[in-house]
Amino acid sequence: MNDKVEARYLRKIKEKLEGKKVCIFPMGVGGRDMRDKLSVRSIEVDFFCDNNKAVWGTSYNGTKCISYPELVSMDSDDVVVIVESSFYYDAIKEQLASDGIKNCVRIFFEKIFAEEYVNENRENLEQRVEKVLEILADERSKEVYQHLVASWNMEDIPDNYFKKICSDNQYFEKGLIELGEQEVFVDCGAYTGDSARDFLKASHGKYKKMHLFELSPTIYGELERNMARVPNVQCYPYGVSDKNEEIEFVSGERNSSIQSAIAAANGKEEKLIGQVKILDEVLAGEEVTFIKMDIEGAEQSALEGARELIKSQKPVLAICIYHSPQDMLELPVLIKQLNPEYKIYIRHYTEVMFETVCYAVL
């Protein structure tokens, strides 16, 4: 790890936290994840806080959750609140400010990894960015992409920096995606079926079939239960890659990951053994019209394992590219190489640095 790169952004964070009691609000999955990431980077959190009374007095990895009245009663000059929420940041910050807590910060933790990558790969970086821009099919895609890439080199990022480029309807972007009544939807990284439910809504329940892949056995069990009454669905208890093999992966509360820099840095996830398979082989002989991938940084190998499907059937692709700067630079180009007929678009879906999707449509 390059400490000089890390220090550039973390120095700003540490300056804001120095000599203060550090609180993370709220204590959800994201808050607990943030606490672990900060701990790895030698930043200790003193306590959590949450609006949910049910978690007051509970602890996570030795860090207690205090009540909201207890937080409000503290001297606001002595406390810094890290607001961990990609969806409710403004509302939470406004609530805290209304109760006299104005010393709030937002941490874009993924920026640390972006800076490390940029520092180690500056050679030809501008040319690689330009190569992506050249293949993008509309001005909105170029605006979104340049906005994201610019954040890699920023000394600090304003709270609402990513809000300017947010879109709605992730994976089923209106104006880009037109679903017919005979869609065959392939979901790689199906989680508990959230994207499948979004597909059902976007397609008004009119489709031909769904193929859902989930690597984590615990999450897969929930996926099966959630899809039990949905017609024409096949679930697969493994991941996808460019090889059929047994792999080691980590599993957290929200996802499973074969190769994630963030997961590796966290070090708190459970290590498991699972299977990955080649999509071209698993779905040989099957019709495929739409492939969605959100597999925690393993998208490149999964795309390589779907080469024949992509070349022959030309399905719509909705591929997450936010897991690393390398993916941002390489995956749009790879998709265009797999099928030059595709038009490539990029959209972003949160007010933080993740949930960026590359679309490929004819």
pLDDT digits (tens, 9 = 90+) for 174-201: 999 999 999 999 999 999 999 999 999 9
3-state helix, strand, coil in the chain (%, to 5): 40, 20, 40
- Identify whether the C-beta of residue 303 lies closer than 8 Å to the C-beta of residue 311: no
Q: What percent of the chain has pLDDT over 90?
A: 77
**What does the pLDDT look like over 56-93, one tens digit per residue?**
999 999 999 999 999 999 999 999 999 987 788 999 99
Average pLDDT over residues 108-122: 87
Whether the pLDDT of residue 299 is over 90: the answer is yes
pLDDT for residue 269 = 57
pLDDT for residue 199 = 98
| Domains (range + CATH), the chain | 3-107 (3.40.50.20), 130-361 (3.40.50.150)
Task: Check residues 140 and 296 and name the one with the higher pLDDT.
Answer: 140
Sign of the Cα torsion 137, 143, 147, 150 reads positive
Average pLDDT over residues 203-229: 96
pLDDT for residue 262 = 42
The mean pLDDT value of the chain amounts to 91
Task: Check residues 265 and 36 and name the one with the higher pLDDT.
Answer: 36
- In the chain, the amino acid numbered 78 is D
Residue 72, sorted as left (phi over 0), alpha (psi -120 to 50) or beta, turns out to be: alpha
pLDDT range class, residue 315, cuts 50, 70, 90: very high
Please give the helix or strand (H or E) that residue 313 lies within, else none. Answer: helix 307-313
pLDDT range class, residue 260, cuts 50, 70, 90: very low
Reported for 282-286, long-range contacts at CB under 8 A and 24+ positions apart, including other chains, are 282/236, 282/240, 283/186, 283/211, 283/309, 286/184, 286/209, 286/211
pLDDT for residue 109 = 83
Sign of the Cα torsion 261, 263, 265, 271 reads negative
Angle, helices 3-17 vs 110-120, to 10°: value is: 150
The closest alpha carbon to 192, from 275, 256, 260, belongs to 256
Whether the pLDDT of residue 15 is over 80: the answer is yes
Whether the pLDDT of residue 261 is over 80: the answer is no
pLDDT for residue 251 = 67
Whether the pLDDT of residue 94 is over 90: the answer is yes
Q: Are strands 290-293 and 343-348 parallel, antiparallel or unpaired?
A: unpaired
pLDDT for residue 1 = 41
- Identify whether the C-beta of residue 355 lies closer than 8 Å to the C-beta of residue 348: yes
pLDDT for residue 2 = 44
Range scoring the smallest mean pLDDT among 89-103, 107-121, 136-150? 107-121
Tokens of 235: 């679930």
pLDDT range class, residue 253, cuts 50, 70, 90: low
- Identify whether the C-beta of residue 269 lies closer than 8 Å to the C-beta of residue 251: yes
- Identify whether the C-beta of residue 302 lies closer than 8 Å to the C-beta of residue 293: yes
Q: How far apart are alpha carbons 64 and 48 in whole angstroms?
A: 6
Q: pTM to 2 decimals?
A: 0.90
Measured CA distances, 264 to 52, 100, 145, 237, 354 (Å): 30, 37, 26, 23, 17
pLDDT for residue 75 = 94
Average pLDDT over residues 318-337: 97
pLDDT for residue 286 = 96
